[in-house]
Amino acid sequence: MAYTVPQIRSMVVSEAMRQGVDPALALAVAANESSFNPGATSRVGAQGVMQLMPATAKWLGVSDPYDPVQNIRGGVKYIKQLIGQFGDSRTAVAAYNFGPGNVSKGRKWPGETEVYVGRVMNSWNEYGGEYATPYPTITPTPLEKSSWTRPLWASTGTQPTARKLVVE
């Protein structure tokens, strides 16, 4: 079955929400990895929407990396695991690109990874993620400022309406 970019984006958002990952971060990774192309293969052999390497895909339980449902499920699971391992999204994104072993060993990120992390962070901002400017209609009270760094929708359990524009 052929999928449209809006369908792929919708799958990414749904899976991210199901797994408790910021949908904007998952969208940013998918956009920078494959431009939402389920048939993408990189020059080094990464496959599918989330550009999983074959060994990583197998480890994540993905039997068909070109099946967008499996690939997205595995890629979002991987992002979640990396955030848990490294404690912050920026380092997790670097590990997604450079490999968690390299990051754990404290190896200097190569230029390609630095560029990749910057692009993903910019995309995350554009999709409305953690680094985005808060929506102008919401002004925090002094009591809310302690949780100001979380995505605004995380505290209410509902996504802002503006996110729907990303997947339609």
The amino acid sitting at 74 is G
Instruction: List residues bridging with 65 in a β-sheet.
Output: none
33 in active site: yes
Pairwise CA distance, residues 114 & 160, whole Å: 30
Considering only CA atoms, which of 50, 61, 64, 38 is closest in space to residue 96?
50
Sign of the alpha-carbon dihedral angle for 36, 38, 43, 45 = positive
Task: Give the active site residue among 15, 33, 126, 144.
Answer: 33
Q: Which residues are known to be catalytic?
A: 33
